[in-house]
Chains A and B, each alone.
Chain A
Amino acid sequence: MRLVDRRNLTLGLFLIGVAAVYFGVGLGLNMGTSTRMGPGYFPMLLVSLLAFFGLLIILKAVRRHSEEAPSVVGWRGIAVVSLSVVLFGLSVTSLGFLPAVAIAAAVSSFASSETHPAERLALTAVLVVFSWLIFIVGLNLPIPILGSLIVRG
């Protein structure tokens, strides 16, 4: 059983998938003529290019197999960091700037397995204070420091 280069195979399939999605959406756009290009002309051009490249990459994957063993995927880092950004987004309007920063700082610190709870607390506190000083006091960002859920009126 020939080993297929999984990396390139995944990439190629992903690209073709994206091309398919954009193709589907692009069908609803007016193509126009080559003189007066409609909104759909250039995108469809790009979609074909993308699918072409995806195909080439898949061909590359099938022809040459790679012996590389897949290395460790940092799942924890991926999940925790993106989660902290999402949580910031959800909390910054409802809870406000300061709580959002605290949440982002605290949650993201979980991505490293080496941070002690005491360090986490200190880090969060320091970041909240510094962010407040730099962005609210120093730069006057128009973000309410305590959001609508906490402060009424």
Chain B
Amino acid sequence: MEIFSNLALGLATASTPENLLYCLLGVSLGTLVGVLPGIGPVATIAMLLPLTFELPADSSIIMLAGIFYGAQYGGSTTAILINLPGESSAVVTVLDGHQMAKQGRAGAALAVAALSSFFAGTVATVLISIFSPPLAAIALKFGSAEYFSLMVLGLIASVALASGSVLNALAMIVLGLLLGLTGQDLYAGTPRFTFGNTELADGLSFVAIAMGLFGLAEIMRNLEVPSDRRPIVKKVTGLILSKADLKAIFWPSVRGTALGSFLGILPGGGAVLSSFAAYSLEKKIAKDPSRFGHGAIEGVAAPESANNAGAQTSFIPMLTLGIPSNSTMALMIGALIIQGINPGPNVMTARPELFWGVIASMWIGNVMLVILNLPLIGLWVRLLSVPYRFLYPAIVVFCCIGVFSISNSTFDLFLTAGFGIAGYVLVRLKCEPAPLIMGLILGPMLEEHLRRAMLYSRGDPSVFITRPISAVLLLIALVALLLVILPTVRATREKAFQDA
């Protein structure tokens, strides 16, 4: 079976000493960032993107991926111990996890989180291996019209499945697309929207913008309220689970993994949505739903496995189709572009060692996380007592260094500062920055496919509807959009995000 030879290639790539090191670095950083509130995997990945210049492509993606799913592990640690989700995907874990901690079962909760996540990570790795080749094979038959429609679907679905105002998110996407078009026109070479500035001829540095929007803006938000939370954490013991516990978490983990794997692939899906959905599912089918919110062990197992599965399967559209399902994946695509790799179904055939190496590294990373997290819990928790006012200048400095290291451009730093302010303003105006970043990265690609499709169809716009696959994709996008606008669905959506 081809899967085994592919995975073998992947394991061989991922187990070289350098890649093991980068994987370890990635998951450790991810856990650290997940534990610390006020900085998340997106900002960290943005900060490390410039450094991936120096690294080979497979090492870069392995490390960045490690940060992403490592942060899911880290976020649940703080969620359980101090009632503070380090990551938004851990919000649901707070509900029962912290209750378990209060009942003296913090160790068990942490162990459950780690084990369910590991189970989910293993299954997700297998699923990715099975489903990626056929998906990429289908995508290779895609023409420009299909790609255009797929990207439109991706953008709209990510809005529909996310929280917040749909209209605002759509506006952010369009804004991002426009910003992404800055620079030289693809075919004619005409400079566009450069306002006479030669620095802009290559386009706006998306790393600079990402660091501003996600890194700096987050810092500015956290500095709004001058307070220094010093969490009081009790000592954690009892990390071994009883047989009864293991029995109790098996099926919730399986369900969580299944749900997370499915939702992760959908554009706009990913870790957060998966964890929410899994928790709701467990609560609904539980024999005694009243236990939830009071330390039900299933309430930790299900969302934890879901968020890890969702985080990993969200790599599938990115690796096979070149479509990002969330802002983290958008940045990964950016990393591939920096390496000179064109994201899309060609990646699997052109760079198989990269493709399978990243997939294999995810499993290896999960192993590392289980080994890392359980014993090192004390260390991570100690870090929480570092006051934020010492942390954020470090983040600012690293942002500055990172942005400058890309092209030694002072202008990029002004860009970062500007988008930091913009990011803060946008969040105050109730706009999410993620759609903007997705639009920014997809803008040029979207235009390219539009132009090519129109060129082949000789100016006939109906090509997007007459070609069947493209028509189906656009139809799904339309349905998703309509569903979200309908008042009833809107109310359910808001309620789902308010419940937790």
Contact = CB atoms under 8 A, between A and B. Distances in A.
Interface string B316-329: 00000000000000
B4 interface: no
Contact of A113 (B226, B393, B398): B226
Contacts of B174: 46, 49-50, 53
Given A35-B459, A60-B167, A73-B224, A119 B390 contact: yes
Interface residues of B, number: 67
A71 B429 CA distance: 12
Interface of A: 7-8, 10-11, 14-15, 18, 22, 25-26, 29-30, 33-43, 46-47, 49-50, 53-54, 56-57, 60, 71-74, 76-78, 81-86, 88-90, 92-93, 97, 100-101, 104-105, 108-109, 111-115, 119, 123, 127, 130-131, 135, 139-143
Contacts of A25: 193, 195
A35 B393 contact: no
B390 A37 contact: no
B413 A85 contact: yes
Interface in B195-246: 195, 216, 219-226, 228
A86 B226 contact: no
A89 B121 CA distance: 41
A57 B165 CA distance: 10
Given A81-B220, A115-B389, A46 B418 contact: no
Q: Which of B175, B387, B394, B459 has the most CB of A within 10 A?
A: B175
Contact of A81 (B396, B401, B404, B458): B396
Interface in B358-410: 387-390, 392-394, 396-401, 404-405, 408, 410
Nearest to A93: B410
Given A112-B389, A114-B389, A42 B223 contact: no
B401 A57 contact: no
B450 interface: yes
B171 A90 contact: no
Contact of B400 (A30, A40, A88): A88
Contacts of B181: 42-43, 46
A22 B177 CA distance: 12
Interface in B106-146: none
A78 B421 contact: yes
5 contacts: A34-B454, A39-B188, A43-B178, A85-B420, A89-B410
A41 B190 CA distance: 13
B431 A135 contact: no
Contacts of A92: 400, 404, 410, 413
Given A77-B224, A100-B400, A104-B393, 11 more contacts: A10-B429, A25-B193, A36-B459, A78-B424, A85-B399, A88-B400, A93-B408, A104-B400, A105-B396, A112-B392, A119-B390
A28 to B, nearest CB: 9
Contact of B429 (A7, A100, A111, A119): A7
Contacts of B220: 74, 77-78, 81
B223 A30 contact: no
Interface in B415-436: 416-418, 420-421, 424, 428-431
Nearest to A82: B417
Contacts of B284: none
Contact of B455 (A35, A50, A93, A108): A35
B178 A105 contact: no
Q: Which of A50, A60, A142 has the most CB of B within 10 A?
A: A50
Given A84-B396, A86-B413, A101-B397, A114 B226 contact: yes
Contacts of B431: 11
A77 B223 contact: yes
B396 A108 contact: yes
